[in-house]
Amino acid sequence: MEQTVATFYQFADLSDCNVWQRKLRTHCKKYNVLGTIILAEEGINATISSNSEGIKQVIDFIRKDERFAKMTFRTCRTIRKTFYRIRVVVRKEIVTLGDPSINPNDQVGTYVQPKDWNKIIQDPDVVVVDTRNNYEVELGTFKGAIDPKTETFCQWDDFVKQNLENHKQKKVAMFCTGGIRCEKASSHLIKNGFEEVYHLKGGILNYLENINPEKSLWEGECFVFDHRVSVVHGLEDGEAQICFGCRWPLKTEDLNSEKYEPGICCPHCADSLDPVRRKSLVERNKQIQIARKKNREHLGQDVPLNTKKKRALLEQANKKAQTKR
């Protein structure tokens, strides 16, 4: 069944985020809205899915608060199941950089509209940086962009210190999925002495939605954090799938590999998968197939977005933030 997927974020003073958590969870359940909504004292960041009326009800509810009255959002249609539940969580940041001193409401880089993006990234004097993580870049990016090779956004500061320190006098143009990481990344660069910082307004999703594929400089697919896994031009569903063994997004060549076992492993993890983990994945996959035959949902279907390694890195970022306070 076709559904609407909406993405949005807004930096704002949300000291009452715990109250919002309860209200939003209730409102989403009332209108059968699924997805992930992240709340923090710095604002809101979300991807939700439902029918068009459900999406409208949630957006209108949020916009009734004057702090979010001008909040923009992006929607697209899909026939894929994007989420299996609603999660409304409270965190220290709506996108984890690990530096509480960075506030996009104070300063951000210069926004670049999609129609002007090609010109700026083709300028040989511009340093183009993809602010996303390694598994996202693997699926697609803009030609010539620097891959920071990070596993989480909290590694951004280390990447800058090691790779961009000598570019402070140059123009830096950055991009991410929907724009939120660039809000913080650009603010971080400006605070650290970079003179000219630009970022793609609305991110890759805005570019793919508005730029003719024949004129596009985007290569590959764009990773998204739901069961669609990826999208392409026009925000149509992509072909990528996720590996439940290691969480890596898989391209066509990965899916055709003899090391690919649906729901279990892929070429990126097959050789390192220990027997205990394999047994667990085989059993999980078995239960999912049984649930599907009975037309039921199984929690194991959720995309495993939180690996032990990522959790450890996020914990490090939180400790770093507490130290800076």
Contact 185, 156 (CB under 8 A): yes
Q: According to the model, what pLDDT value does residue 307 have?
A: 43
Entry field: residues in the chain: 325
| Host domain of residue 41 | 3-90
> Does any domain span residue 319?
no
Which residue has tokens 């209730």? 26
Total tally of structural domains belonging to the chain: 3
Does one domain contain both 111 and 233?
yes
> Does any domain span residue 246?
no
Does one domain contain both 50 and 30?
yes
Of 290, 281, 287, nearest in space to 263 by CA: 281
Q: Is 154 a catalytic residue?
A: no
Q: What is the pLDDT along the chain (325 residues), one digit of tens a residue?
A: 799 999 999 999 999 999 999 999 999 999 999 999 999 999 999 999 999 999 999 999 999 999 999 999 999 999 988 999 999 999 999 999 999 899 999 999 999 999 999 999 999 999 999 999 999 999 999 999 999 999 999 999 999 999 999 999 999 999 999 999 999 999 999 999 999 999 999 999 999 999 999 999 999 999 999 989 999 999 999 999 999 888 899 999 999 999 999 989 999 999 998 899 999 999 988 887 787 676 655 555 554 444 444 444 445 444 554 555 5
Report CA-CA distances (Å) from 110 to 23, 97, 129, 152.
35, 20, 15, 24
Give the active site residue among 176, 243, 246, 265. Answer: 176
Does one domain contain both 60 and 167?
no
* Cα separation, 57 vs 304, whole angstroms: 28
Cβ-count burial of 53 within 10 angstroms (0-12 exposed, 13-18 middle, 19+ buried)?
exposed
Does one domain contain both 71 and 119?
no
**CATH code of residue 156:** 3.40.250.10
> Does any domain span residue 309?
no
> Does any domain span residue 160?
yes
In 31-90, alpha helices (H): 52-63
Contacts of 49 (CB under 8 A, 6+ apart): 3, 4, 5, 6, 33, 34, 35, 55, 78, 82, 83, 226
Report CA-CA distances (Å) from 137 to 10, 85, 209, 218.
24, 27, 19, 12
Q: According to the model, what pLDDT value does residue 297 have?
A: 57
Phi and psi for 146 in degrees, rounded to 5?
Answer: -75, 130
SS3 for 88? strand
* Burial readout 36-46 (b: 16 or more C-beta within 10 A, e: otherwise): bbbbbbbbbbb
**CATH code of residue 27:** 3.30.70.100
* Cα separation, 145 vs 130, whole angstroms: 6
Does one domain contain both 30 and 126?
no
What is the DSSP secondary-structure string of 112-162? E-HHHHHHHHT-TTEEEEE-S-HHHHTTEEETT-B----SSGGGHHHHHHH
Boundary-marking domain end, from 90, 107, 137: 90
Does one domain contain both 74 and 21?
yes
Q: According to the model, what pLDDT value does residue 309 have?
A: 47
